[in-house]
Every structure is written in structure tokens, then in C-alpha cells.
Amino acid sequence: MSDTAVYGKVALIGLGLIASSMFWATRRAGLADHVAGYARSEETRETARRIGLCHEVCDSAEEVVADADLVVLAVPVGAMGAVAQAIGPHLKPGATVTDVGSVKRRVIDDVGPHLPEGVHFVPGHPLAGTEHSGPESGFATLFENRWCLLVPEAGTDPMAVARLRRYWEGMGALVEEMEPDHHDLVLAVTSHTPHLIAYTMVGVADDLRRVTDSEVIKYSAAGFRDFTRIAASDPTMWRDVFLTNKDATLEILGRFTEELFALQRAIRTGNGDALFDYFTRTRAIRRGII
């Protein structure tokens, strides 16, 4: 292996935003000697070959994992189990399998049973993304100074975890470990429910289009523009996130609607103090973040 390489061969399955960014980041820092990629659609594989994404693009999942030291599952969460089933028998003993899925408990339950003894499974989730998807959307700096959460189960080989940590750090990420159910609850608050709210707000604006004509678009201010950007995210990915992180999302949505009703009541009853106090509290949270 070259001096900078953390792995000899890395296999990327699913060549979308995250996998393509991983390839460019890996290549830039020389973190692997060889990166092979596979995506289900012929069109994606052709695009990948055309733009030089991966050192090699394979035509099957079995082929891409052959001799790989690290296998990265970068497909929508709902597809992880089927991919794991397909590659399970072809994994090299001692290899590490990881994923980048936005939900962790479900991925662990779906993928784990398909991996043979002697293969290390270290689930992960980079907290980095954009509203773009597909093989042409990736870029080398996507993970720079962004968190990547690793959720190894107790008993996972610490060497395999440490090596994956080094790989993510090499791509510029800040790595922490977290327990899967806690991960899913935290992400329901910080990412999943906000996406649902953005989808809803843009849907409401679209419903009102007949009344407002195209003014919603023409005069869209920063707040609404941010909602439209978030609501442009990949529908397959986000469908799978809500279907697979159902309990945590419903818990947070329940709390959200309670708060929304309280604000609705304060507006209806003209309770300015309640509104002011609420906004003062949330402003302090923002100031604590930046």
C-alpha cells in the first residue's frame, strides 16, 4: 500500500452524492490504492465511467467487492439489506463493511444478518449532504469539518473501527461514536423532521399557487428559499428515511405539533408575551450554535 493509503481496495456500492464525494476525497488524499464502484443502473455506471468516477466501474455488486478491504454501502436505506444479501458470500475474510445511511437501527437489522463470520461491520453516517443527487453531484470537500458518526456494536473489532475512523478523518471529517437508537432520535430532531416540515411548507405554497399565482416564487424570501432547497432533496432517499426511522420521527412530530398548536393559540389570542418568550428562547439556541 502507498504511504497515505488506509485501505488497499475500497468498493463503493451506489454511486450517488455520498459515494462520488467519497471517491474524490479518497483520491485527493490518497487514502486507497484502488477504488472500485458499482451502481444498479447502467446509465449511472456509464456516467461514472465518462467522468472518471472510481478507478474501475464494475457491472455487478459481486464483482465490485472481490478482494475489497473496505466495502461502503451508499444506497438508499431501504435497499441496504438486499445489497448486503447479494454481496455477503463474496466478501473477503477480514474485510470491513460500512454504510452511510441516514438511519442506523434499521440498517443494522437489515445488513448484519447477511454478513459472514470474520467480516467486520461498522455502520456509519456522515452528517454532510446537499439537495443534489447522482454520480455527478459529488465533490472532494463535502466531508470537510463535518461530523461522521460511527455506530459499532459492542464486540466489534476495535482495530476495524479505528481504521475506518482514520479513513473518515483522512477525508476531512470529525468522527464520533454513537449508539444506534440514540443516533436515530438525534437525527429525527436535527434532520429528518426539519426535512418533513420543508416538504410540507413547499407543498402548502404549491397548493396556494392558484391564489398567489407565481408570486410565491417571484418574491420568495430567504426563509422560503431555504425550504425549497431542502424540499428538492432526493425523493427515494427521504421516503426510505421516514419509513425506516418511523418511531423517532413520529415522536418528534408529535412534540412539534404540540408546540405549533401552542403558538397558533398564542397568535389567535394575541398573547404577544408567549410569542416573544418563545422566540427569545429559540434565538439563544441559534446563538449557541454559531
Residues that bind ligand NAD in the complex, under the rule CB under 6 A:
13-19, 39-41, 44, 74-77, 79, 82-83, 100-102, 125-126, 129, 133-134, 234, 237
Of 9 and 125, which has the nearer Cβ to ligand NAD?
Answer: 125
Give the residue from 99, 44, 45 showing the smallest Cα distance to 70. Answer: 99
Number of other residues whose CB lies within 10 A of the CB of residue 94: 11
Give the residue from 221, 149, 145 showing the smallest Cα distance to 191. Answer: 149
Q: Is the backbone of residue 134 left (phi > 0), alpha (psi -120 to 50) or beta?
A: left
Of 137 and 271, which has the nearer Cβ to ligand NAD?
Answer: 137
| Cβ pair 54, 23 in contact under 8 A | yes
Residues 6+ away with beta carbon under 8 Å from 49: 57
Of 126 and 170, which has the nearer Cβ to ligand NAD?
Answer: 126
| Cβ pair 69, 43 in contact under 8 A | no
Minimum distance from CB of 172 to ligand NAD (Å)? 15
Of 5 and 75, which has the nearer Cβ to ligand NAD?
Answer: 75
Minimum distance from CB of 73 to ligand NAD (Å)? 8
Distance CA 99, CA 111 (A): 9
Minimum distance from CB of 60 to ligand NAD (Å)? 10
Of 215 and 226, which has the nearer Cβ to ligand NAD?
Answer: 226
Of 79 and 174, which has the nearer Cβ to ligand NAD?
Answer: 79
Minimum distance from CB of 14 to ligand NAD (Å)? 3
Of 147 and 256, which has the nearer Cβ to ligand NAD?
Answer: 147
Minimum distance from CB of 135 to ligand NAD (Å)? 6
Minimum distance from CB of 133 to ligand NAD (Å)? 3
State the cell numbers at 242. Answer: 421516514
| Cβ pair 18, 138 in contact under 8 A | yes
Q: Tell me, rounded to whole angstroms, the distance of Cα 81 from its chain centroid.
A: 16
Minimum distance from CB of 197 to ligand NAD (Å)? 16
Distance CA 150, CA 180 (A): 9
Q: Which helix (H) or strand (E) holds 239?
A: helix 235-244
